[in-house]
Amino acid sequence: MNTKLKRSVIPLVLALTVALILDCVVGWQLFTIAAKNYTITSLNWARSQGVFDTPQEGVISRANREYCGLENVEIEQAATNSFDGSDPHIWYVVFTVYAQNHIPCDPENPGPALHHQTYESGGSFYLNTLEGWVWMPEGRFPEFIGYWMKKLNLAGPGDSTHVPRN
């Protein structure tokens, strides 16, 4: 009886093992397709927001669009997001904007005040595509997109000589 039970269990275990392996392969394929689509869609959206020669130029351009009475934009740090420079196409830029207020710039109905009255500090991710640098909000997972940019040959050369300060 024990031998019969073993003979009937072996095909079941084999079938479940094959099914599990097929599920993993199909799941990985679906994940890969979704990741590629997400990367391409996000990059297309980012290009529609502007393509810049440098990440610093992108910060200044966005400041001009989002603030009223812009006095100055200080770039405090602009470098690769990786400490070893291994992802030269993914940069993080830390900046301070000196301005009067946020948009709209209507004197009768001005935009919201700045966080520190006369200035605001922040940071943004920029990704180097083949066309130039694009702004990528943190909520869109720029490091994930940067990884797939490399895999899909969509990443520009970037610049690994500027690495963050420790």
The pLDDT tens digits of the residues spanning 30-78 come to: 999 999 999 999 999 999 999 999 999 999 999 999 999 999 999 999 9
pTM: 0.85
Helix/strand number for the chain, H first, E second = 3, 6
Question: Is there a domain that residue 50 lies in?
Answer: yes
Number of domains observed in the structure of the chain: 1
Domain range for 74 is 44-151
Angle between helices 142-151 and 2-49 (to 10 degrees): 100
Q: In this model, does residue 165 exceed pLDDT 80? A: no
